[in-house]
Structure 1
Amino acid sequence: MSMHGLQQYVAFAETARHGSFAAAARTLGTVPSALAKAVARLEVELGVRLFHRTTRQVTLTADGERLYAQCLRLLAEVEALKAQASGTRLEPAGTLRVDLPIFYGKHVVMPVLARLVQRCPDLRLDVRLQDGYVDLVQEGIDLAVRVGHLDDSSLVARPMDEQQLVLCASPPYLAAHGTPTDVAALVSHRAIAFRMPTSGRHRPWQFLEGSVAVEMAPPNVVARVNDGEGMVEAARLGLGLCQVPDYMAAAALARGELLEVLADRRPGPMPISVVHAGGRLLPARVRVALDALTALHTSGAVG
């Protein structure tokens, strides 16, 4: 591939990452028209349409999405080759784009990333906090933190932490409604349900009966909330029982504002992983972030 050809792929990849020629041009220090022409030439050479264009933004076609995934690996390898040729590992620089669950991202991951930026002054962060899953390649995300077992085999996952679900309620609620002693007794209780972001349905409550995993729909739902902190607050205010990750309720449990119910029926722990798109070589900014986050798992400093 000629240097001119490589520049066309860089122009395409940055435009795909930013969703506009103008934003990509600012990153590359050029003008939007130059990028548009480079991408147009690439489309002619490849014989495919890479973007759907509007006056305000560009979005990837199916062919563009496939090429973008390949370009990310190519550009990472070019960066690694430059580092190898100079005899050093490149210092982490540029923008690290991460997608994080809201509560866990704020309270666990953000402190790690903040220390990383303080240590690497040329590193910048683009943090997206949301509880739904996004397509890493399509959204140009370097790293994401995901809870649970992963179905996407195209992603590379590294263990970072684990979470347990706890069922809890406020002391006044339990005083008024009684403390359930088994799963069957929950049908008479009031529930605060989690509204799942993708389906809009209530997340089932999960338990272990002996060695058997069981699920049930939250009974008598008095409130449904799409945020874990909101669920904890609703339970603290006495609205009913809620089942949330242990780290979300830890402070309220420690203060006695919530009490755990059916602790001996907790479901098994779920893995928390840091994931990235597949590729043999990773940019320095991604490598150092992966090392920092997976170090928490090996040191037991999380959870």
Structure 2
Amino acid sequence: MARETYEDWVVPEFAPDVIQALGRNSATEKLARPETMTSDTKQVPRSGDFAVAVIAKGAAYGETAGTNDYVEMIARKVGGIHRVAVEDLMDSRVDILATKRVDAARGLAKFFDNATLAVSAASNGGTIPYTSVYKAVRTTNSATSYTADDNYTAGALSYANLNSTLAKYEDSEWADDSETFVIAHPAFKAAMRGLLDSQNRPIFVQGQGDVADVLFGHPITWSFGAKVSATATQSPTGNPLLIVGNRQLMIKGMAQLAPYVTSTNPGFQLQLPTSGDGFKTDEALLKAAMRRGFVIGTEHGFSVFEKTS
């Protein structure tokens, strides 16, 4: 067993607030279309085309022969435990539990974003809980007539590459301006500020206050999880990604784990040392967990730019 120590916090003149890294919400949690899950697996119907054509007088109508299928989500559990001595909880002027709840929420957000957006391999049910947007657009899918990398661009950050990324999405029948989102790693910010179009106008407009940053007229949601990684992690180190898509085609499954983890929110549970190992050592356990599924509706509704230099 291992626990963090707080001896440096338990001093008479310590300020009541802790300086923390800025907590950020998950981009996927914020933007994806929610689907309630009452079991660990859910199939979401996907409709095929409805074909129409000119019909001569007295001629028979042509019949649609499209495929109506489904995409499948499997709920996965993500979480961790923080161990703290009860003396620290009693003696510290810092609200340790509130502080660690913020840390846990930030960790869950980054992990969930990385798992759903940027992991480079297909789901294996363990270290890779979902097939990410990045993996999906880099993989051929005969069920949707999608060819690998059709909606993928890689290279240096430039006006041409960003324009190409958005154009690939806009060229799809699944594009919808009213539902379009842009998710990007904050590593794009500095480089974007210097990009101009052919008339020397900035393509990246930095927002103020509650107004979001904007790229080509679309608001940007920043995510520290949007970096490529081999397996899901809250600290990815690969190339940063920019993803354009239709939020109705990015589907998150909302599953309940326990009374303290509802289908709408991650949960936190404090177990005081009344039994078990904690009873032997006077240590409380703070558990943080969330249970989510994830799947995309079709690869044609997304476009990904990977900044490789």
User: For this structure pair, what is the TM-score category when the shorter chain's length is used for normalisation?
Assistant: under 0.3
Structure with a larger share of its residues in helix? 1
The higher-RCO structure (CA 8 Å, 6+ apart) is: 2
TM-score, normalization by structure 2: 0.24
